[in-house]
């Protein structure tokens, strides 16, 4: 069985795991320490980043977007829309959510890995401002949350799951449309809800 080298809190891992589940691809989640180094991760991904999908021959597929494409190919092929316009919208949504993740994860790294006296508040403000603009720009163009979900839907669910984990009470204000979308997605897909980021 393929292994997904993981950390529970990562929104990128969550997206890859949700995508595999929705594509009908069985994976074994294996926790690794991407921060301090992990021999298994280093062997499969020279960049030592998660998520990393380890195939049965031991080779690695890394970067969450490469993983979502791979599990779509080997799975049931229902992650990516077939029409050009719908496909472009789904891919853009995935990239958009990854960008929000980059900002919110970067915010947490600034707080966790710098001594308190060296934390740069203007940089935190800049990162959070980007994340907020990213969220606000989703108004009126949210992906499906019901039976017809695609990779954009899964990416957004993983992103909102990470924000719930790390920024609960900070991201929701004035974004009832996103909160309602999240709740509808999790109600329709409890199996995917179980794979949202967790500490």
Tell me: the pLDDT tens digits for 12-30? Answer: 999 999 999 999 999 999 9
Q: Using alpha carbons, select from 17, 19, 20 the residue that is nearest to residue 30.
A: 17
- Shared domain check, 164 and 96: yes
Asked whether the whole model's pTM tops 0.85, one would answer yes
- Shared domain check, 109 and 59: no
- Shared domain check, 109 and 171: yes
Q: How far apart are CA 28 and CA 146, in angstroms?
A: 26
Q: Using alpha carbons, select from 21, 113, 29, 112 the residue that is nearest to residue 68.
A: 21
Give 97-135 pLDDT, tens digit per residue.
999 999 999 999 999 999 999 999 999 999 999 999 999
Residue 16 lies in domain = 2-74
- Shared domain check, 119 and 39: no
Distance spanning both ends of the chain, measured CA to CA: 25
Give 138-160 pLDDT, tens digit per residue.
999 999 999 999 999 999 999 99
What CATH number is given to the structural domain containing 8? Answer: 3.40.30.10
Average pLDDT score, the chain: 97
Residue 79 lies in a domain: no
Residue 199 lies in a domain: no
Q: How far apart are CA 153 and CA 143, in angstroms?
A: 5
Percent of the chain, pLDDT > 70? Answer: 100
Give 159-172 pLDDT, tens digit per residue.
999 999 999 999 99
- Shared domain check, 163 and 143: yes
Q: What is the average pLDDT across 29-45?
A: 94
Whether residue 69 is predicted with pLDDT greater than 90 in this model: the reply is: yes
Domain boundary among 32, 52, 74: 74
- Shared domain check, 160 and 124: yes
pLDDT of residue 37: 87
């Amino acid at each position: 069985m393929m292994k997904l080298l993981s950390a529970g809190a990562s929104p990128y891992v969550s997206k890859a795991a949700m995508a595999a589940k929705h594509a009908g691809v069985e994976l074994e989640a294996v926790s690794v320490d991407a921060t301090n180094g992990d021999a298994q991760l280093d062997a499969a991904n020279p960049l030592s980043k998660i998520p990393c999908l380890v195939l049965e021959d031991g080779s690695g597929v890394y970067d969450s977007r490469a993983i979502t494409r791979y599990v779509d190919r080997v799975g049931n092929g229902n992650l990516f829309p077939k029409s050009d316009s719908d496909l472009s919208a789904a891919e853009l949504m995935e990239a958009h959510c990854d960008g929000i993740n980059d900002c919110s994860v970067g915010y947490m790294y600034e707080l966790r890995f710098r001594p308190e006296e060296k934390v740069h508040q203007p940089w935190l403000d800049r990162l959070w401002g980007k994340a907020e603009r990213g969220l606000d720009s989703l108004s009126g163009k949210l992906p499906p949350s019901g039976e017809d979900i695609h990779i954009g839907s899964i990416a957004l669910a993983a992103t909102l799951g990470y924000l719930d984990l790390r920024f609960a009470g900070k991201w929701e204000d004035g974004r009832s449309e996103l909160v309602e979308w999240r709740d509808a997605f999790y109600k329709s897909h409890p199996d995917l809800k179980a794979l949202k980021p967790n500490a």
